[in-house]
Amino acid sequence: MVARLLCTSRLSPAAHSMTADGEVERVATDLTGLKVGILGGDRRELEVASVFHGLGAEVRAVCLPWPDDVGFVSNRLEDVLAWADLLLAPVGGVDKFGQVSYTIVEGQEPPRLTAETLRHVAQGTSLFIGQATSGLREACSEQGVRLVEFRETEEFAWRNAIPTAEGALEMALRLTDHTLHGARCLVLGFGRTGSVIARTLHGLGARVEVLARDGIDLARCYALGFAGESLADLRGAVSDADVVFNTIPVVVLREDVLQRMRRGTVIIDIASAPGGTDFAAARRLGLSAHLAPGLPGITAPRTAGRIVADTVLSLWQNL
């Protein structure tokens, strides 16, 4: 608690100003005395551990890949849960058994966050996680653990849309035999990831067409220089597409839509599982359709980890 008060007083809004290249400046941030427990993850969480350690926090990790490379010792889950002031679980959250996502470290048991293991956590400790399950929410509430889900916060989702868009474009480049420059690219949905994908494609010289259900989104497309069309016209729009990027988390690329596509069209579906594509129908029709989960952690883990660290710091500062 002493550590939290100390850090909160030093984390002024000025410590979170953003530079032109998107880096968040943390010059005034001093986390000395804060005990941070990282509960599994991938190279993103490794970056988070580095950032917190660099700001003076004491960091202990459970089941983090390559802990020896960066000097963070592996610890027993129960010990870290009892020790930390601030706990961080991965962006991907936990499954229905409480097991954290993305954690594969040979010889180590993946951390489980359950009513049983959370008993070790002191009341009032903050647990940050991308997204929780109802079971984890209940267990935290019973135990008096302050649960903070950050994946759907605007602050995180907008910044995370950048490595997501770059990952989607990297996939498209790999799966096609043509440039994106000049290609007819459809972007389905114009939310956080859809708008960044459209803008990035536009910058590469692609012929971008956005399909959205909301008239205001279509007006924004128009103002930004993209073609925009109602999602209701999707069947007609797909027939001469080279690449389709889907960001809508409900099945919009149904069989009757897929039937209108050319064989060579590539579909990159970034919506959370099971995606917005009827993948079984796509397979039957011989289409190249790909569900693309976890893109930031694959293509830009260091940037993605910094986004997690900055989001957690900012949310924690405002608790």
Residues that bind ligand NAP (CB under 6 A): 157, 160, 164, 189-194, 212-214, 231, 247-250, 270-272, 292-296
Q: How far is the CB of 189 from ligand NAP (least distance, A)?
A: 3
* Residue nearer to ligand NAP on the CB measure, 67 or 92: 92
Of 98 and 189, CB closest to ligand NAP: 189
Nearer to ligand NAP, 82 or 298 (CB): 298
Strand 207-212: give its sheet, edge to edge. Answer: 227-230, 207-212, 184-188, 243-246, 266-269, 288-291
Minimal distance in Å, beta carbon 150 to ligand NAP? 13
For residue 43, the minimal CB distance to ligand NAP (Å) is 14
Greatest extent of the chain over all pairs of C-alpha atoms, in Å: 63
Instruction: Indicate the residue whose CB is closest to ligand NAP.
Output: 191
Of the pair 111, 167, the CB lying nearest ligand NAP is at: 167
Give the residue with the Cβ less far from ligand NAP, 176 or 272. Answer: 272
Task: Could you list the beta-strand ranges (E) of the chain.
Answer: 35-39, 58-62, 86-88, 126-129, 146-149, 184-188, 207-212, 227-230, 243-246, 266-269, 288-291
Question: In the bound complex, what is the minimum distance in angstroms from residue 71's beta carbon to ligand NAP?
Answer: 29
Residues with Cβ within 8 Å of 231's Cβ and at least 6 positions away in sequence, in order, are 188, 211, 212, 213, 248, 252
Please give the span between the terminal C-alpha atoms of the chain, in angstroms, as a whole number. Answer: 13
Q: Give least dist CB 94 to ligand NAP, A.
A: 16
Of the two residues 145 and 234, which places its CB atom closer to ligand NAP in the complex?
234
Nearest approach, Cβ of 300 to ligand NAP (angstroms)? Answer: 11
Q: Enter the tokens of residue 126.
A: 């903050």
Supply 82's token pair.
Answer: 């009892």
Of the two residues 80 and 292, which places its CB atom closer to ligand NAP in the complex? 292
DSSP reduced 3-state for 141 = helix
Distance (Å, whole) CA 75 – CA 63: 8
Nearer to ligand NAP, 93 or 294 (CB): 294
Min. distance of Cβ 8 from ligand NAP in angstroms?
29
Distance CA 287, CA 239 (A): 13
CA 238 to CA 204: how far, in whole Å? 21
Number of alpha carbons in the 13 Å side-chain half-sphere of residue 37: 22
3-state SS assignment for residue 125: coil
Kindly give, in sequence order, each residue whose CB lies less than 8 Å from that of residue 235, ignoring residues fewer than 6 positions away.
256, 257, 260
Residues 6+ apart with CB under 8 A from 213: 230, 231, 232
In the complex, least distance from residue 263 CB atom to ligand NAP, rounded to whole angstroms: 25
